[in-house]
Structure 1
C-alpha cells in the first residue's frame, strides 16, 4: 500500500516567545515602603535652636559621628519656659576646643517661634555596607550588588524610556536617591544667638588667631611711580601714543566781567529802583554788566519780585515795604514807572552763571 505524504499548511498563528528574563528588583526598591514612615516618638520633646559662630560650628563638625560626645554644659537661670539667662561652657578636654573661646552667652531672639521643628535623617540599616568598596582583590563581600555578581550571571533588565539618553544635551551623572529614615527630633521652643564672653581667655585666643591669619596672607608691597615706569618699560609710551586726546581749547576771556561785592550790588540795585519803578532783567544786566544769576540773588535780597500778570508782566518791582524804606532814606519817588528798553547784544554778555 502506497504511503501518502502529508504536508502541513502554513496557517498564520501566534508566535510563541521564550521566557523573558526579568530583572530582579533594584536594591533600593526593598526600602521604598519604609521611606514614607517618619518617627514621631519624640513629638513632645522641646529643643533650643541656636545660631553659632563659624569657628564653633567647624570645631563640632569635625567631631566623629559614630559616638555620643558631651561638648559642654548649658546653664539655665530661671524657668525653662522663660529663662532669665542662658550660658554655655565648653569642655576644654576636647581637642577641637583648643583654639576657640570656652564660654558663651546665649541671647534669646525668639521665645516661641511658630511651627518650627527639627528633623534628623539616617541611612537605612544595611545600605552603607553594600556601597563600601573593599579594596582587596577577590573580596566581594562588601561590593555593591552590580559589582559582586559576575557579568555572565547578571540578569538583563529591559530598557525603558528613562534609560534613553539625549546625546544633544550635556551628560549629567545620574545618582540614585539614598534611602533615609526620617525622625522628628523635637519642636523648637526658643531661638538663641550664641555670643562669646569677652574675657581674658577670649582676647588671647583672638590675638593668636589674628596673628595666624596675617601669616597666611601674602605680603603687600607698594610700588611708586618710578618703579611702575621701570616695570612697564615701553608699554606706557605705546599706550600714550595710541590714544591721543585733542588739546583743550582755551576759553576766551573777552566779555567777562568781574563780580562786584554783594553790598555794592545791592546799592546799585537800590539806585536803579530809585530811578525807575519797574525793571526788566535784561535791562539790569545791560546796566550792571553782572551775571544774570548774581543779579537775581541781589533782587531776592532787596525783596524785588517778578510780576506775572498785567501790563507790567515780566518786570521786577520792589515790595511795598522796600519802597517805604527806599523813600525814608531820601530816595523819593521814581521819575518814570518803567526803565526804557535798551538794545542788548546777548553774545556780548556770555558770563558765568
Structure 2
C-alpha cells in the first residue's frame, strides 16, 4: 500500500515578469541629444514660416529635405563679437513653396551664448493610434436609437496614445532673419504694393435719386432746392470743406520693422511726425512696433524724439552715415490719411442792412 506523506507541495520557480521582457517594455524614454550637438533658434518672417510649414506637411515621413544653405562669411581679423558676424541664408530654388517669396535673407545674431532655452517635440509611437470618434458606437440592426447610456457615451475606459518626446540640441545662438535688400527685394515690394493699390471693385455714383418709384417723395423737391440755395455760398462762393486723404495700406510687421531700421540709419533722433511722413503708416501702428526697438526721450535737447535702444544698436551697420540730429519734418506732407484737414468752411457771409419802419 502506497504511503501518502502529509506535506505541502512547493511550486516551481516563477517565470520572468512581463515588464522584464524587452518585447513588452514600452519605449517611452526621453530622447536626449549628444553633448557635441548644437542648434540655432532663428526668428523668420511670416511668409517664410508659412512656406516652411507647408514643406513640412507635404514632406514624406522621415525624409530630410534641403530647404536652403547658410553662408557664414569670414569675420575681420581680430573680430570676436559674434553679433557682428555676416551671415546669409539662400533658399533652395527647386521647392515650389519658395516660388513666391524672397530667396535671400540676412541674419543678425542677438544672443551668442547659451540662454537656457530648450526646444522639444512629440510624436505618436508606431502602432499607438487613437480610435476615431464614434468608432465603437455604430448602431446594430434592430437596435433602438434613443439616448445612449453613460457607458455608451464615454466608454468603459479611455486609453492614452503613447508619445515619444525628443529634446533638440542646446540653443547656442538666437538669430533674427530679415530680407536682404537687393534688386529682388525692391521688385518684390513693388509687386506687393501694386497688388494692394490695384482696383478690386468699381462703384457707380449717381447725382440724384429716382423718385418715380417712391410715391410722395416728389413733393420734397422744393424743400431740397430751398435747402441748397439758401445756404451761404451755395452759388459758387462755397469753399471746400473737409478733405479726406487717401488712407495708407498697412505694411506687414516685418516690412515695417525693416523700414524703421532704415530710418535710424539716416538720423539718430526721430519725432513721430517725421516717421509718419517717411513711412506713410498710421501712428498707432508705427508706435506699436516702435516700442520694441526704440525709446522716447522725455527731457533734454532731444525731448519727445525716438532713439534706438542700446540692445538694438547693431541695427546701424558699418559705413552708415548716421546724422547726430533730429530728422527733419517736411512741410505739407503731414498725416497718413487717418485725419481730415481743417474745419468746416461755411463760406462768405454778406452784411445785410436792417432798416426799421417808421
Same fold (TM over 0.5): no
Bin the TM-score by the shorter chain: 0.3 to 0.5
Higher-Rg structure is 1
Question: Structure 2 length as normaliser, TM-score?
Answer: 0.39
